[in-house]
Amino acid sequence: MIKIRQLIKSYRDRLVINGLDLSVEAGEKIAIIGPSGCGKSTLLRLIMGLHEPDNGVITVAGVTLSAISHTEHRLVRRHIGMLFQSAALFDSLSVFDNIAFPLESTDDSDRVIRDRVLELLHLVGMTGYERAYPHELSGGQRKRVGLARALALKPKIMLYDEPTTGLDPVLSTSIEDLIVDLNRQFAVTSIVVTHQVSTIFRTADRIYLMKDGQLLPAVAPSEIDQNEAYRVFVRGGLA
Amino acid sequence: MMRLKSRSVLLGRWVLRFFALLGDFVLDSLKVLRLSLTTPIRFKHVIEHAYSLGAQSVGITLITAGFVGMAFALQVVREFLKFGAGKMIGGVVGIAIWRELGPLMTGVVVAGRVGAAIAAELATMKVTEQVEALEALGHDPIQYLVVPRLVAVMMMMPLLVGLADCIGFLSGYVIAVGIGRINPFWYFESANTMLTLFDIMGGLLKGSFFGVLIVLVSAHLGLRTNSGAKGVGEMTTRAVVISLVLIFVLNYVLSSVMF
């Protein structure tokens, strides 16, 4: 579903991603961990096509991103949903309009759009908040609405940028449950970038540690303690 | 020698940076103009922006135009009456207002109010990832965010300038007749004789140019913001300052070409 070869990305003089390789199969769910500023979010933005790599090849659902036009890029992006770290809801739009936003560019009727929005609100546990505005919601609620908006076009791939950061344990668990449910129900391929240990264990089949602009070989959640680099990062050096 | 060399390097870097920024601005502006002409316009958004950016600027524009018109007329009345040229006051005030003061005052007011609003709003959207979200959802941020604002401001600027011209001219009338004791007939008659349709249309056209400039500068800087609340504040200030300076420069260029 996603194949990345020898990816390189730098900002000004700082090399953020340095020859990164990654392969994710359809329906798989992986987590990428690593220290702040190591390039995890940049990797998601490169997969989404929001940033252009300096070098390397990214293939999403059989389409090589560097070989297509901007217009085609926008079409590919419709198959990918992204939950941003801040949820990135549009301030000037209500919850309903935020979720309906991606659907407005489809040929669906107003009634179909309305039903889909209500279905998504139910899915993320936000029924009854249609008329609320982003500034009236808590951090967890905003993330849920952001998730509903990302799912509006039924994407085949979901990218989660720190989905549970800043949330209390109860809200974190509910978001993690949603990620797992989406993968289970709709076979959505998931890439989760996170710092949260609970999120890593609950949402991923494979875990990658990002270091020096590259991904270390993947481990299963149960193998973390057997790998020194992973154990140090996840357990803080405790045996 | 070493000091001279390091200064040369600094100057060279500054020049390169300046041209890089200028190049970015020109490319962004060309893209905005191209999209304005080649893509469907979202009229719902245009009307919303025309109201918030244009209609809500009417009050401050009229107050500014009224007082500038009165202050200008006061000086003209005093000096012209000394030379017995009271019959020309209406024409002189009219030419000054329609050709220069009306468009320039409106440009300054709109740069302060609308330029700041556009830069702050887009910069906030940028730092809160809303612009990236827009891209992720398959929209071009320039087409979605900038083009409707450009069309709205282009529509509203001639109207604002026209209103400012009328209020500025009538404020001058109040001073000329009230303080200068000028015959009201001569105020309007001299304006009718000295002003041409080209003076009026030229002033309105200037307003449209200023509107385009304000939107292009403010949107470009807003969408280039990267660093949190501090960056939003810096870019908003920069957008207003650069817009103002460019308006004065463009005003001189247009005046020398048009009139």
- pLDDT digit string (tens) for A186-228? 888 999 998 888 888 888 889 999 988 899 999 998 888 888 8
- Report in angstroms the alpha-carbon separations of A174 from A197, A199, B5, B249: 15, 11, 61, 58
Q: What angle do CA B107, B108, B112 make, to 5 degrees?
A: 115
The two three-digit tokens of residue A17, written as one number = 């991603």
Task: Look at residue B158 in the predicted model and tell me its pLDDT.
Answer: 94
Is the CB of B135 less than 8 angstroms away from the CB of A86?
A: no
Judged by DSSP in three states, A3 sits in strand
Which one of A50, A75, A89 has the shortest CB-CB distance to B136? A50
Is the CB of B137 less than 8 angstroms away from the CB of A88?
A: no
Q: Which residues of chain A does B124 touch, with a Cβ-Cβ cutoff of 8 Å?
A: 91
Percentage of residues in chain A with pLDDT exceeding 90?
44
Instruction: Give me the total of CB pairs closer than 8 Å, taking one residue from chain A and one from chain B.
Output: 46
DSSP labels for B117-132? Answer: HHHHHHHHHHHTTHHH
Exposed/middle/buried for residue A207 (C-beta within 10 Å: 0-12, 13-18, 19+): buried
Convert the pLDDT of each residue in B10-62 to its tens digit. Answer: 888 889 988 888 898 899 899 989 988 888 888 888 999 999 888 889 999 99
> What are the domain boundaries of chain B?
61-258
Which one of B128, B139, B140 has the shortest CB-CB distance to A88? B128
User: Helix-strand-coil percent breakdown of chain B, rounded to 5?
Assistant: 90, 0, 10
A74 touches chain B (CB under 8 A): yes
Convert the pLDDT of each residue in A67-102 to its tens digit. Answer: 888 778 877 888 899 999 889 999 989 999 999 999
Which one of A50, A91, A149 has the shortest CB-CB distance to B135? A50
pLDDT band with cut points at 50, 70 and 90 for residue A239: very low
B226-231, long-range: CB within 8 Å, 24+ apart, which pairs? B226/B126, B226/B127, B227/B127, B228/B127, B229/B127, B231/B123, B231/B127
Query: Using an 8 Å Cβ cutoff, are A172 and A199 in contact?
Result: yes
Convert the pLDDT of each residue in B213-255 to its tens digit. Answer: 999 999 999 999 987 888 999 999 999 999 999 999 999 999 9
